[in-house]
Amino acid sequence: PRPILLTRHGESRDNVRARIGGDSALSDTGALYAKKLADFVEKRLKSERAASVQWRALDEINAGACDGMTYLEIKKNMPEEYESREKDKLRYRYPRGESYLDVIQRLEPVIIELERQRAPVVVISHQAVLRALYAYFADRPLKEIPHIEVPLHTIIEIQMGVTGVQEKRYKLMD
């Protein structure tokens, strides 16, 4: 069966400033990763036909009123919100935004589409979304999802076989 390769986008300027959400440009390091990732994919999938699509369903968790803030700013300015999220990160929904459960739900059609593919698929997305996709394919429990570490600049290759799931990680840079 075909592998699924999951990776976060290269480091963004907001990642560097520890701001959530936003739609900032890539940092220099992030731009370098984008190049390395393109090379990796080209080599890894050289004999495969590839198609590229962009799906809104792969957008990062919508932080609503907190979009563009740092965690410290949320803690200072919206302490109740900060605390509710600490208590139940899976169910906590940002004001005018989403919860992890919302994200998991909007990913359902994506998962159906990924499972339908005959060729390898590379999914380039964001941390919260990749946590949910990874948990689905690697068979991790729901409650773990908001806490799974999906490091930057790393490709997680998941291969589903008859004997279970196999995973390889490629760290392309620090």
Whether the Cβ atoms of residue 33 and residue 171 lie closer than 8 Å to each other = no
Cβ-based burial of 3 (10 A; exposed 0-12, middle 13-18, buried ≥19): middle
In this chain, which of 4, 9, 12, 21 binds ligand G3H, going by CB under 6 A?
21
DSSP code for 105: H
Give the nearer residue to ligand G3H in terms of CB position, either 77 or 117.
77
For residues 61-120, which are near ligand G3H according to CB under 6 A?
61
For residues 130-169, which are near ligand G3H according to CB under 6 A?
146
Tell me how many residues contact ligand G3H (CB under 6 A): 8
Query: Considering the rule CB under 6 A, would residue 37 count as an interface residue with ligand G3H?
Result: no
Least distance in angstroms from the C-beta of 150 to ligand G3H: 8
Alpha-carbon torsion, ordered 112, 137, 162, 38, to 10 deg: 90
Give the nearer residue to ligand G3H in terms of CB position, either 30 or 146.
146
Query: Considering the rule CB under 6 A, would residue 20 count as an interface residue with ligand G3H?
Result: yes
Sign of the alpha-carbon dihedral angle for 64, 55, 131, 173: negative
C-alpha distances in angstroms, 10 versus 37, 72, 79?
Answer: 9, 23, 31
Least distance in angstroms from the C-beta of 47 to ligand G3H: 34
The residue range among 32-40, 124-132, 134-142, 161-169 that interacts with ligand G3H, by the rule CB under 6 A, is 124-132
Query: Considering the rule CB under 6 A, would residue 127 count as an interface residue with ligand G3H?
Result: yes
The backbone region for 65, taken as left when phi is positive above 0, alpha when psi lies in -120 to 50, beta otherwise, is: alpha
User: Per the structure block, which two tokens stand in for 86?
Assistant: 């600490």
For residues 44-63, which are near ligand G3H according to CB under 6 A?
60-61
Residue nearest to ligand G3H (CB): 127
Whether the Cβ atoms of residue 135 and residue 146 lie closer than 8 Å to each other = no
Task: Provide the binding-site residues for ligand G3H, judged by CB under 6 A.
Answer: 20-21, 60-61, 126-128, 146
